Amino acid sequence: MLIGSHVSMSAPNFVLGAVKEALSYNANAFMLYSGAPQNTRRRAMEELKIEEAHALMQEHHIPLEHMIVHAPYIINLANTVNPSTYELAVSFLREEIKRVNVLQAKYLVLHPGSHVKAGEELGLASIIKGLDEAMQDMGHVEIALETMAGKGSEIGYTFEQLAYIIEHAKYGNHIKVCLDTCHIHDAGYDVSNFDYILDEFDRIIGLDKLACIHLNDSKNINGARKDRHANIGDGEIGFDSLYKIANNVRVKHVVKILETPYIDGNAPYKEEIEKLNK
């Protein structure tokens, strides 16, 4: 099973520290933010101990594709109401793609965006325009658009919306999808029948476009459109369904990332990975 969690990348060891954290959970994959998820301040790449991190990954047979980067939440390509928000999103995304290339990670997970009351049609058009502007120099990086819960004015809570973006984006061949189990459950998909979900995903987007899975339980009922993650087995999705997803042969080659909450200040990932691997 290819599984890990989100890990922190903080001073003084940065990416090296992120790899060490992943190893402490017996993970063979991990996801990090290139800096704080809530802001756009970023350290110089030279400070991040990337070479040491790569060496440690190699030593533990973790391929570079198992390092996933998540773009910060403040990137909103769908904002047509405030032009400066859109401009910041495009320029930051362009820089982020460069950083992911330096990290030699393959996938950059991105929330498609929120239309902030301008309507889904305008939001979708803005996302496509923004991706076209930001993705001109991809190197070996691919964008993984995340399936969203549909809270507020989020776009990307249906497979159809994500397929529409990929079909209409100029560089759609460099765009894949990251499927978040909490989000699709909150968006109204019944994840207890995961083979059906995969059939739908294949029919609408194409299974070859599935880049990664965020494996989370949900604090809310199916269709609640809330986006509150729960620990594996402690939420409305439940352990059996999440276990079946983690062990489904059709996604054996796909990296799963846990984004479940800390319990009393402790990371739950080592135990959760163990439970899912049994």
User: According to CB under 5 A, which one of 21, 96, 180, 227 is a site residue for Fe ion?
Assistant: 180
Residues whose CB falls within 8 Å of the CB of residue 8, separated by 6 or more in sequence, listed in order: 17, 18, 21, 32
Q: Are strands 229-230 and 217-218 parallel, antiparallel or unpaired?
A: antiparallel
Q: Return the number of the residue (56 or 127) whose C-beta is nearest Fe ion.
A: 127
d(CA 272, CA 184): 20
Q: Return the number of the residue (111 or 129) whose C-beta is nearest Fe ion.
A: 111
Q: Which does 209 bind (CB under 5 to 8 A by kind): Zn ion, Fe ion, none?
A: none
> Using CB atoms, what's the residue nearest to Fe ion?
214
Q: Which does 227 bind (CB under 5 to 8 A by kind): Fe ion, Zn ion, none?
A: Zn ion
Q: Is 186 in the site for Fe ion (CB under 5 A)?
A: no
d(CA 127, CA 256): 26
User: According to CB under 5 A, which one of 214, 219, 256, 260 is a site residue for Fe ion?
Assistant: 214
Q: Return the number of the residue (21 or 227) whose C-beta is nearest Zn ion.
A: 227
Exposed (0-12), middle (13-18) or buried (19+): which is 17, by Cβ within 10 Å? buried
Q: Return the number of the residue (126 or 181) whose C-beta is nearest Zn ion.
A: 181
d(CA 53, CA 233): 32
Q: Which 222-241 positions form the footprint of Zn ion (CB under 5 A)? A: 227
Nearest by Cα to 156 from 129, 179, 133, 130: 179
- E strands present in 42-89: 67-70
Candidate segments 38-46, 59-67, 212-220, 232-240, binder of Fe ion by CB under 5 A: 212-220
Closest approach of Fe ion to the CB of residue 55, in Å: 29
Q: Which does 214 bind (CB under 5 to 8 A by kind): Zn ion, Fe ion, none?
A: Fe ion
Q: Is 256 in the site for Fe ion (CB under 5 A)?
A: no
How many residues form the binding site for Zn ion (CB under 5 A)? 1
Q: Is 146 in the site for Zn ion (CB under 5 A)?
A: no
Q: What share of the chain is helix, strand, coil (3-state, %, to 5)?
A: 40, 15, 40
Alpha helical stretches, state H, 111-168: 120-134, 159-168
Q: Is 217 in the site for Zn ion (CB under 5 A)?
A: no
The token duo for 229 is 């993650």
Q: Which residues bind Zn ion (CB under 5 A)?
A: 227
Q: Which residues bind Fe ion (CB under 5 A)?
A: 146, 180, 214
